[in-house]
Amino acid sequence: MLAYISRRLLLSIVVLGGVTVIVSGALLLSGDPVALILSEGLATREQREELRRELGLDKPFVYQYLDFARGAVQGDMGRSLRYNRSVSAIVGERVEPTLQLSGTAMLLAIVVAVPVGILSAARPNTWMDCAGRALAFFGQSVPLFWLGIMLVLVFSVELRWFPSAGRLQANSLVLPAVTLGLLPMARIARVLRASLLEVLGADYCRTAWSKGLSERRVLVQHAVRNALLPVVTIMGLQFGALLGGAVVTETIFAWPGLGFLSVQAIGARDVPLLRGVVTLVAFLSVLTNLAVDVLYAVLDPRIRYA
Amino acid sequence: MRSRPRRATILWKSLRRDRAAVVGLVIVGLWLAMALFGPLLKGAKPGQQDLGRSLLPPGGSGEASSPGAAAARAWLGTDQLGRDIAARVLQGARTSLLIAFQVVLIAAALGSFVGVFAAEAGGWVDEVLMRLVDIQLGVPAILLAITLLAMIGASIGNLVLVLVLPSWVIFARVVRSEVLRLRELEFVQAARALGARRGRILTRHLLANVTGLIVVIGTLELSSIIIFESALSFLGLGVRPPDVSWGAMLSDGREMLTVAWWPATLPGIAITVTVMGVNLLGDWLRDVLDPRANARRGA
């Protein structure tokens, strides 16, 4: 178990290192940030050189990257060009809204998907199954930014039930969470249904039926418990995907989280801030994947020896 | 014997039983036809502005742009600049489908090559390539994509490049594990024992058996690429004016949401219907070409 976890941990570090190298390399391609801050006419050559030194841009790429990596490990990711504040401080403020949004979306997805998946599998090819599958199919096909806009159109513009943007009121969370939750809901419902159908066909479930157990007991105690493994996997994968979906969702609803911040940083050409956001999101997503892997190994002993 | 004619027969037979697949095929076929032949249609041009006809509702004809000319009916309405939405949706289909097909073809070729190469090479080559895959899968693809696009600039060529990045790894991973699995099967062992060369085993026995799987993944990737591309264009980092795309239309329409519902609603329906069609096709292909998929992936 310990060997397994340490291998996964090592892999996580490799992934994080790779991502930060890619992002830093991409930033290098973007041209000279100094030219953006101090334009030709406003600053002397000496001032520009000094700023370049201050930002560490006079050094070769490898040194720049190592400087960044050393700082990042200690929680220092440089200064934002636009806000002239520490990147870590700005990024830190945005973590909570993003976690709140994706957490709520995930909860919503599970609360809807689990009953839908179970009902679908328990009554295959009935109208309930059809409705459940149609919902899941729709959820997988509709682009979430369009869904978000449609929800705003109906519930903010027409009905005026929920605010269309921001995070000022308690019910601001509703529309973004529904938008973000639909795709994981669809995926979880599909996987749960398929996995349950497979388990329900297994010998031990037939035995449970023939013992005369009630449907409820067969379903809950025998089938669902054994069908959960693929569901846990997909939940973990979906949580990582939620962080990506949050970029678009937060932008639509002006939700003050990391996703919206990344789009703002791009708009302002704020290179250090963008690098900070991407690094932090990569960190969160790697952490989630690690947690899922460990949970998976705990749930299924076969994994550890594979 | 050869497997190709049999596979076609299987596909055709199952298509006659599977109504959902037929619906998917019709949807995708129609969109492809519209994307290919849409520009030949007479009528409004997608880029043509006419501020006198701004924000006409679907079916509205408004006033004639010049005295004497008959007012053309805008079947799907017009946007804030008076451009015909129907013409733009058709043009958008062309852009989006072209990009998506390009991306999937490149990603499938690249990913399959890397997958086979990693499986055949083994050792540290395999290790390095697979860690590269892990890095790609370890972070949300959209975040890497917007970072790269913001840095290298938004253009259709760059968009294709950025979309290939998260996509090829899917092919590489699946092809690699499938080749590793197939290689241990008896028929390959037998071919090897009979003295077949490595190249022959690779093409005739391994690749031939992976193509079905590549087609299945390619179809599923196609729908996610269509969504991904429109998301990037929606954020203003993908297809940009004067090129027309569904995502960019949505973003324009969103500005008008309090005044008019159709500029934001209609391109979204186009995306959703297309993606549904491709997904229906993908589900069917998976059932037919990859019978073990249900057991392996769970859905």
Q: Is the pLDDT of residue A59 over 80?
A: no
Subunit contact A157:B258, Cβ cutoff 8 A? yes
Q: Is the pLDDT of residue A172 over 90?
A: no
Residue in B139, B250, B267 closest to A282 by CB: B139
Residue in A15, A29, A145 closest to B250 by CB: A145
Contacts of B110 (CB under 8 A, 6+ apart): B164, B168, B171, B172
Look at residue B110 in the predicted model and tell me its pLDDT. Answer: 94
Look at residue B163 in the predicted model and tell me its pLDDT. Answer: 93
B37: exposed, middle or buried (C-beta count within 10 Å: 0-12, 13-18, 19+)?
exposed
Torsion A280-A27-A242-B252 (CA) sign? positive
Name the range with the highest mean pLDDT among A51-60, A90-99, A118-127: A90-99
3-state DSSP assignment of residue A42: coil
Q: Is the pLDDT of residue A296 over 50?
A: yes
Contacts of B23 (CB under 8 A, 6+ apart): B277, B280
Q: Is the pLDDT of residue A179 over 80?
A: yes
> Torsions phi, psi of B84, nearest 5?
-75, 120
Region A170-176 average pLDDT: 84
From chain A, the residues in CB contact with B257 under 8 A are 149, 152-153, 157
Residue in A22, A191, A240 closest to B298 by CB: A191
pLDDT tens by residue, A280-292: 888 888 888 788 7
Region A134-141 average pLDDT: 88
Pick the residue of B137, B151, B266 with the most A CBs within 10 A to test the interface with A by mutation: B151
A71 vs B: CB within 8 A: no
Pick the residue of A91, A116, A138, A145 with the most B CBs within 10 A to test the interface with B by mutation: A145
Q: Which residue has the higher pLDDT, A62 or B294?
A: A62
Contacts of A302 (CB under 8 A, 6+ apart): none
What is the value of pTM for the model shown? 0.85
Beta bridge partners of B78: B84
Q: Which residue of A has its CA nearest to B299?
A: A191
Cis before B242 (ω within 30): yes
Residues of B at the A interface, defined by Cβ within 8 angstroms? 131-132, 134-135, 138-144, 146-148, 150-152, 223, 227, 230-231, 234-235, 237, 247, 250, 253-254, 257-258, 261, 264-265, 267-268, 271-272, 275-276, 279, 294-295, 298-299
Give the closest-approach CA distance of A15 to chain B in angstroms.
Answer: 5
ipTM above 0.90, yes or no: no
Residue in A19, A142, A195 closest to B272 by CB: A142
Q: Tokens 């017009």 belong to which residue?
A: B78
Look at residue B63 in the predicted model and tell me its pLDDT. Answer: 59
Give dist(CA B27, CA B31) in Å, integer.
Answer: 6
Give dist(CA A15, CA A92) in Å, integer.
Answer: 22
Give the closest-approach CA distance of A43 to chain B in angstroms.
Answer: 25
From chain A, the residues in CB contact with B258 under 8 A are 157
For residue B74, count other CB atoms closer than 10 A to its CB.
Answer: 26
Name the token pair of B161: 């490049």
Domains of chain B: 20-58+73-297 (1.10.3720.10)
Name the token pair of A227: 């069908």
Give dist(CA A54, CA B243) in Å, integer.
Answer: 41
What is the residue type of B38? G
Q: Tokens 């958008």 belong to which residue?
A: B92
> Torsions phi, psi of B140, nearest 5?
-55, 125
Give the closest-approach CA distance of B218 to chain A in angstroms.
Answer: 16
Contacts of A276 (CB under 8 A, 6+ apart): A77, A78, A80, A87, A88, A90, A91
Residue ranges covered by each domain of chain A: 2-73, 88-305
Instruction: From residue B104, give the alpha-carbon distance in Å to each of A15, A51, B248.
Output: 25, 44, 21
Region A187-210 average pLDDT: 83
Residue in B148, B253, B254 closest to A26 by CB: B148
A145 vs B: CB within 8 A: yes
Look at residue B48 in the predicted model and tell me its pLDDT. Answer: 72
For residue B296, count other CB atoms closer than 10 A to its CB.
Answer: 10
Give the residues of chain B that fall short of pLDDT 50: 1, 68, 294-299
Q: Are B216 and B284 in contact (CB under 8 A)?
A: no
A251 vs B: CB within 8 A: yes
Q: Are A282 and A216 in contact (CB under 8 A)?
A: no
From chain A, the residues in CB contact with B299 under 8 A are 187, 190-191, 193-195, 230, 234
Least Cα distance to A209 among A223, A226, A195 occurs for A223
Subunit contact B135:A14, Cβ cutoff 8 A? yes
Pick the residue of A141, A151, A160, A288 with the most B CBs within 10 A to test the interface with B by mutation: A141
For residue A304, count other CB atoms closer than 10 A to its CB.
Answer: 14
Architecture of domain A88-305: Orthogonal Bundle (1.10)
Q: Are B131 and B233 in contact (CB under 8 A)?
A: no
DSSP class of residue B78 equals B
Look at residue B100 in the predicted model and tell me its pLDDT. Answer: 93
pLDDT tens by residue, A4-32: 788 888 888 888 888 888 887 777 766 66
